């Protein structure tokens, strides 16, 4: 296959991948999706925070098993399976009753979380395989789609919740149907590149050459034996925890500084916009300047985000809170792009699907930190303690960041 033919086909796959990620990212709109369970059923903040933590856990497990399923079968089979799981998960969530809290953990966290985890890993690993010369850009575009979901779907979900035609129940059922159809169609389109596919030559500046050229492929076992890997893993978990925590209570945080409910929902979307922008900007910076500069910049933004939001809580200031949300979105958006590009550039592409799914387990650690943040919020009745903790973790991540070196 010629270079031009490869470029033409991979652009189609990138568009399909971004579209699928756009709808799959609705999982992160939890601060909006949880409102019926809180307002109608009266379920506690801590119980709903636990659901988000479990969702992140099964998202990561789904990504891991998705890599294994895709390796043994094909992207088509894995994405069709993902569509079925997500469709059933969201659909059944729409039938929950006031005594169905435990079922929420099964339908939303286990089924939908696992299904979206499978689709996430399969889409990222399949589409990025078509862009060996633009790993950061491709990852950034895919992650942008995932991050923009809350903005594009958040207000629509809020409106459907309030409508007499759908209500919260019909909205969850509709989401299940849409996600199932989109993921199945994606599975029918996406393909891995053939072994003899030709791609444009890698163009890299001196910074990228130093950071990104991989001399060999590391197996998962070899990767896990690398001390450098674990320093980076903990660093990314601490960085991700800042955004993960804020996402879990973003709407309530904005309401606490006297924002109107409609504005609070919109600002959750603004957080998602910055999340998406952070993902694609990080990909571009990664391609231009390399891993080290990108990771340090993302870490610095996470520190500033936690500090600014803490200041907003102290001063009870909506404008400062908005700034904190924007910075949090940018730093959180940088994390998955860095995770993807870091794993492939440090440990190679041959074992990337499994290696990437393992590295994504940092989301589980971040989810438990987010649960800890919510516990501090409940026990102290203030957002001060959670953000002090997150600020400390972001500073600790910076120390680990400086120590990360090629394996």
Which pLDDT tens digit goes with each residue over 47-61? 888 898 899 889 989
Cα gap 385→383, rounded to integer Å: 6
Q: What is the CATH architecture assignment of 3-195+220-403?
A: Up-down Bundle (1.20)
- pLDDT, tens digit, 9 for 90 and up, residues 145-190: 877 777 778 778 888 998 878 899 999 999 999 999 999 999 999 9
Cα gap 355→61, rounded to integer Å: 13
Nearest to 124 by CA among 82, 175, 85: 82
A 10 A CB-CB count for 169 gives: 15
The total number of residues shown for the chain amounts to 407
Cα gap 51→295, rounded to integer Å: 30
The answer to whether residue 73 scores a pLDDT higher than 80 is yes
What are the two backbone dihedrals, phi and then psi, of residue 204, each rounded to the nearest 5 degrees?
-135, 140
Cα gap 248→52, rounded to integer Å: 7
Q: What is the pTM assigned to this prediction? A: 0.76
Q: Work out the pLDDT band at 110, boundaries 50, 70, 90.
A: very high
Nearest to 238 by CA among 306, 145, 312: 306
| pLDDT attached to residue 204 | 54
Cα 90 to chain centroid, rounded: 18
| pLDDT attached to residue 105 | 96
Asked whether the beta carbons of 285 and 293 are under 8 A apart, the reply is yes
Nearest to 126 by CA among 76, 166, 164, 173: 76
**Most trustworthy range by pLDDT among 130-134, 156-160, 310-314, 350-354:** 310-314
| pLDDT attached to residue 356 | 80
Torsion of CA 155, 156, 162, 163, to 10 degrees: 160
| pLDDT attached to residue 197 | 73
Q: Work out the pLDDT band at 213, boundaries 50, 70, 90.
A: very low
**Lowest mean pLDDT: which of 60-74, 231-245, 376-390?**
60-74
The answer to whether residue 28 scores a pLDDT higher than 80 is no
Q: Where exactly are the structural domains of the chain?
A: 3-195+220-403
The answer to whether residue 326 scores a pLDDT higher than 50 is yes
**Most trustworthy range by pLDDT among 70-79, 170-179, 284-293:** 170-179
Report the interhelical angle of 318-347 vs 291-315 (nearest 10°).
160
Cα gap 177→283, rounded to integer Å: 32
Q: What percent of the chain has pLDDT over 90?
A: 40
**Lowest mean pLDDT: which of 78-82, 168-172, 191-195?**
191-195
| pLDDT attached to residue 214 | 47
Q: Which residue has the higher pLDDT, 3 or 310?
A: 310
Torsion of CA 319, 283, 341, 132, to 10 degrees: 160
Q: Work out the pLDDT band at 6, boundaries 50, 70, 90.
A: low
Cα gap 100→43, rounded to integer Å: 10
Any long-range contacts for 165-173 (C-beta under 8 Å, 24+ apart)? 168/35, 168/36, 168/40, 168/94, 169/94, 169/95, 170/94, 171/94, 172/33, 172/90, 172/91, 172/93, 172/94, 173/90, 173/91, 173/94
**Lowest mean pLDDT: which of 41-55, 211-225, 248-262, 382-396?**
211-225
Q: Which residue has the higher pLDDT, 191 or 352?
A: 191
Computed over every residue of the chain, the mean pLDDT equals 86
Using DSSP, state whether 350 is helix, strand or coil: coil
Cα dist. 237→123, 174, 242 in Å? 22, 33, 9
Nearest to 69 by CA among 2, 147, 125, 31: 125
* Residues 6+ away with beta carbon under 8 Å from 297: 285, 334
| pLDDT attached to residue 153 | 81
């Amino acid at each position: 296959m010629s270079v031009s033919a490869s470029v033409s086909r991979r652009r189609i796959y990138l568009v399909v991948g971004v579209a699928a990620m756009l709808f799959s990212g609705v999982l992160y709109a939890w601060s909006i999706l949880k409102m019926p369970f809180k307002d109608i059923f009266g379920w506690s903040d801590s119980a709903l925070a636990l659901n988000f933590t479990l969702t992140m856990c099964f998202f990561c497990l789904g990504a891991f098993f998705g890599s294994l399923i895709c390796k043994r079968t094909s992207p088509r089979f894995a994405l069709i399976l993902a569509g079925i799981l997500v469709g059933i998960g969201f659909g059944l969530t729409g039938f929950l009753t006031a005594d169905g809290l435990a079922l929420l953990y099964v339908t939303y966290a286990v089924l939908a979380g696992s299904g979206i985890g499978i689709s996430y890993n399969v889409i990222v690993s399949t589409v990025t395989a078509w862009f060996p010369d633009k790993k950061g850009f491709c990852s950034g575009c895919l992650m942008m789609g995932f991050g923009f979901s809350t903005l594009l779907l958040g207000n629509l979900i809020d409106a459907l919740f309030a409508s007499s035609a759908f209500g919260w129940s019909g909205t969850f059922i509709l989401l299940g149907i849409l996600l199932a159809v989109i993921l199945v169609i994606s599975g029918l389109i996406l393909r891995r590149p053939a072994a003899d596919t030709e791609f444009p030559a890698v163009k890299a500046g001196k910074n990228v050459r130093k950071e990104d050229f991989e001399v060999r492929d590391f197996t998962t076992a070899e990767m896990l034996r690398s001390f450098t890997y674990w320093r980076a893993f903990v660093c990314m978990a601490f960085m991700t925890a800042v955004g993960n925590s804020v996402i879990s209570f973003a709407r309530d945080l904005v309401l606490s500084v006297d924002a109107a409910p409609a504005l609070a929902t919109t600002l959750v979307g603004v957080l998602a916009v910055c999340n998406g922008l952070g993902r694609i900007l990080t990909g571009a910076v990664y391609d231009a300047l390399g891993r080290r500069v990108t990771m340090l910049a993302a870490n610095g933004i996470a520190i500033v985000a936690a500090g600014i939001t803490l200041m907003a809580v102290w001063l009870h200031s909506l404008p400062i809170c908005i700034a904190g949300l924007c910075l949090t979105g940018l730093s959180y958006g940088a994390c998955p792009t860095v995770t993807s590009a870091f794993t492939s550039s440090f440990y190679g592409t041959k074992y990337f699907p499994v290696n990437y799914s393992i590295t994504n387990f940092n989301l589980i650690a971040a989810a438990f930190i987010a649960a800890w943040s919510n516990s501090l919020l409940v026990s102290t009745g203030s957002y001060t303690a959670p953000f002090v903790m997150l600020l400390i973790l972001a500073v600790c991540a910076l120390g680990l960041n400086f120590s990360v070196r090629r394996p």
